[in-house]
Structure formats: structure tokens, C-alpha cells
């Protein structure tokens, strides 16, 4: 699903490579932690997967594509296969929860009907169905991160990249966010998460790739956080949920994730299944749209409370019911968008949020959202 072959990344003006001849393979359905000291190269790995940065040498394959073969014009289409979540949430401050999630679908031209179904489904999954009309500043940090996760998964990405998604959250809230990420992984999405949080890594017992000065020094199938190079400080605060909180990330269940997940129960959220077995792996090549999608004017989307009262609906991660899609959607699987913060070297300096999310190519028709970022309110 993701393969790095001899990847070296050297940023302009630096003497030492951020990544130094990395070889790496991540399989479909895996949950992978990237750990390592600050500056070890974790975010660089994520940016390379997104094609936000180009390697100095070596090749990267994502979803069957050699990233060198994807032209800049097609990068936004490629990125619809990826969802990205950041430490600082990056919500649109003047849009409510529903519209923040709807935004990413509007920009890629999804129909109003699709949006009116997919957004409530996704908000329900992340536990925010009741708060669809709130503005970001009316939410807690954890709730804001749930909105960001909803936005990242609403179009059903095959890969979810998370760059320190719990970095601004307290331990209990972090545990809840991790349970949500685990449930997303359980429904088949590959999750790659860069983190410094030892407690989370130790509890999850998933694959751990440790970077040190741009090289991989550890790759464990079910690892913990601490090693000689990143020791856990005795007595340091660990992200432990308080006693009354539901137990999280414990006892992996043997069942493989379902291909089309049901809406996970609360129990499922807190007892995430183990990673998908390696057998059922490698995917077909995911097509990147050969032609640009037709420009569809973003339809004004307003949440109706009745939308949130509907009977049980399929998980937002499951394939949607037959939906009218734009022609380009026939060739681009329903996915979501990326958001890594680092500016592409060859991109214009002033990018709109849609461009940062990979929803529009730089220079494409700007949207009218008055977009700006909003960070945690905590």
C-alpha cells in the first residue's frame, strides 16, 4: 500500500538529510506509529506520502502509484485517497461542525444529496451528531479534533495520516481520540500516526517504526514507545484515562476488520480489533483521475436537525448507497483529503485551505469560504 525504496530527503539549505535512505513498507489495514525524537523525520515521512514533498532520491509507491508519475495537476486527485489529521485541528472558524465536514465534499463537487447523507453519518460515528450546528470555538479540544477526523474520513480514505493528533489534548480525551482512530482502522483504513505519546503507543501495541536522525532504527510489529534512544522518563505523565473512563486500547480482538464496517458500537470503539492480518492485503491500483473533475459550484449546505434523526445508516466508512456522482467520481474512489501543513516547495506561498487540503490544485478557482485556520481553544 505504501512503499519507500531508498528514500533520502534533504531540504534545501540543510546539510544533513531529514531522511537517509529509508526502506519501508506499510500494508493495507495496518495501524502504524511513527515515533522518534523531535526532528527525527516523522512528519517528513507523512509529507512524502502525501506528495507534499518530493524525495531527493529514491521512489515512493502509494496505492499502486509511483508518486513520481503523478503530475502536479493530478496531485489533488491522488490526495483524495488520503485523509489527514493534525495536532492543531485546522477547522474553519466561521463554519459550524456540519459545514466544516461538508466543506471537503463540496470542494470536490459531491452532490448535495451525498453531502446531506455522508456528513450526518460521519458526525454520528465520531460522536458529534448532537453538535452539528456548533461553531468550532463552542467545542472542546477533543470535540474539535473529532470534527477534524470526521472531515478526514467523510469521503472514506484508504489511508489516514495523523500527525500528533493528540498533541493538544488531555489524557482522557486523547484516549477517546485513539479509540476513534482504532475503530477507523478496524473498518479497513490504514492509519499512520506520528506521535510522542508513550502511553498511547504502549497501550495500543501496534506496529512501531522508530526514526532516529532520519533512519529507521526499529520496526516492531507490536511495539511500545520506549527504547534506548527515546527512553520513557520514570514518573512522567502518561496519557492514562481516569478510573471512570472506559478502558481503552486493551485486549486486541482476533477478528479481522470487516471490509464494510458497521457503525461501531461504543464497545467497539474502546476495544479495537487487532490489525488486519497480512493475508488479505495488497490492493489494486487506485486510479488517479485522468481528467480534471468538472467544476461544480459548491452548493450551500445547511444542516437540518431532521438529518440527524434518521434511522440507523451505514457507516460513513462503508461504501455509500448509490449516489449521483460527478463523472470524475467514476474514476476516483471516494476518498478524503490531506492537510499537512508544510508548503510544497513548488506551490504558491498563499494557499487557500482547499489547496492545503489537497482539494484544489494551487491556482485553481478559489473558493468563497473566507477560509482560515482555527486552532485548539483549550
Ligand X SMILES: Nc1ncnc2c1ncn2[C@@H]1O[C@H](COP(=O)(O)OP(=O)(O)OP(=O)(O)O)[C@@H](O)[C@H]1O
The site for ligand X (CB under 6 A) is made up of: 11, 14, 18, 36, 38-44, 194, 342
Geometric angle at alpha carbon 82, from 144 and 107, rounded to 5°: 70
Q: Which is nearer to ligand X, 217 or 342 (CB)?
A: 342
Q: Copy the grid coordinates of residue 198.
A: 508513550
- Residues 136 and 147: beta-carbon distance below 8 Å: yes
Q: Which is nearer to ligand X, 86 or 271 (CB)?
A: 86
Grid cell 508548503 is found at: 343
**Containing H/E element for 33?**
strand 31-35
Residue 58 C-beta: closest distance to ligand X, Å? 16
CA atoms of 273 and 276, how far apart (whole Å) = 8
**Containing H/E element for 161?**
strand 159-163
Q: Which is nearer to ligand X, 11 or 94 (CB)?
A: 11
Q: Which is nearer to ligand X, 42 or 207 (CB)?
A: 42
Residue 53 C-beta: closest distance to ligand X, Å? 8
Residue 176 C-beta: closest distance to ligand X, Å? 23
Residue 18 C-beta: closest distance to ligand X, Å? 3
Residue 217 C-beta: closest distance to ligand X, Å? 13
DSSP string computed for 292-351: PPPP-PPPP----GGGGGPSP---TTSPPSS----GGGGTS-S-B-----SPPTTS-SS-
Residue 99 C-beta: closest distance to ligand X, Å? 30
Q: Which is nearer to ligand X, 40 or 104 (CB)?
A: 40
Q: Which is nearer to ligand X, 36 or 199 (CB)?
A: 36
CA atoms within 13 A on the CB side of 345: 11
CA atoms of 174 and 77, how far apart (whole Å) = 31
Amino acid at each position: 500500500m505504501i512503499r519507500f525504496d531508498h528514500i533520502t530527503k534533504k531540504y534545501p539549505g540543510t546539510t544533513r538529510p531529514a531522511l537517509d535512505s529509508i526502506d519501508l513498507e506499510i500494508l493495507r489495514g495496518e495501524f502504524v506509529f511513527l515515533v522518534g525524537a523531535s526532528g527525527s523525520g516523522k512528519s517528513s515521512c507523512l509529507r512524502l506520502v502525501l506528495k507534499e514533498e518530493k524525495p531527493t532520491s529514491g521512489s515512493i509507491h502509494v496505492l499502486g502509484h509511483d508518486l513520481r508519475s503523478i503530475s502536479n495537476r493530478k496531485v489533488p486527485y491522488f490526495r483524495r485517497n488520503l485523509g489527514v489529521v493534525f495536532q492543531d485541528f485546522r477547522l474553519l472558524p466561521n463554519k459550524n461542525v456540519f459545514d466544516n465536514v461538508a466543506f471537503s465534499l463540496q470542494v470536490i463537487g459531491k452532490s448535495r444529496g451525498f453531502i446531506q447523507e455522508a456528513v450526518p453519518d460521519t458526525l454520528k460515528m465520531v460522536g458529534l451528531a448532537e453538535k452539528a450546528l456548533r461553531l468550532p470555538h463552542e467545542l472542546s479540544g477533543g470535540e474539535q479534533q473529532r470534527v477534524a477526523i470526521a472531515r478526514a474520513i467523510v469521503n472514506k480514505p484508504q489511508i489516514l495520516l495523523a500527525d500528533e493528533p493528540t498533541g493538544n489534548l488531555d489524557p482522557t480525551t486523547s484516549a477517546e481520540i485513539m479509540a476513534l482512530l482504532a475503530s477507523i482502522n478496524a473498518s479497513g483504513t490504514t492509519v499512520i500516526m506520528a506521535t510522542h505519546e508513550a502511553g498511547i503507543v504502549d497501550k495500543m501495541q501496534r506496529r512501531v517504526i522508530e526514526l532516529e536522525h532520519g533512519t529507521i532504527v526499529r520496526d516492531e510489529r507490536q511495539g511500545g514507545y520506549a527504547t534506548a534512544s527515546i527512553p520513557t522518563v520514570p514518573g512522567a505523565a502518561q496519557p492514562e484515562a481516569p478510573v471512570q473512563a472506559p478502558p481503552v486500547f486493551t485486549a486486541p480482538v482476533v477478528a479481522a476488520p470487516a471490509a464494510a464496517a458497521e457503525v461501531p458500537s461504543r464497545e467497539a470503539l474502546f476495544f479495537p480489533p487487532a490489525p488486519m492480518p497480512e493475508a488479505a492485503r495488497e490492493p489494486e491500483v487506485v486510479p488517479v483521475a485522468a481528467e480534471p473533475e468538472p467544476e461544480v459550484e459548491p452548493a450551500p449546505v445547511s444542516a437540518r436537525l431532521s438529518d440527524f434523526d434518521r434511522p440507523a445508516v451505514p457507516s460513513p466508512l462503508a461504501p455509500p448507497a448509490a449516489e449521483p456522482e460527478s463523472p470524475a467520481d467514476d474514476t476516483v474512489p471516494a476518498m478524503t483529503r490531506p492537510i499537512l501543513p508544510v508548503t510544497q516547495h513548488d506551490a504558491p506561498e498563499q494557499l487557500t485551505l482547499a489547496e492545503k487540503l489537497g482539494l484544489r490544485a494551487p491556482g485553481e478557482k478559489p473558493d468563497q469560504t473566507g477560509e482560515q485556520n482555527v486552532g485548539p481553544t483549550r
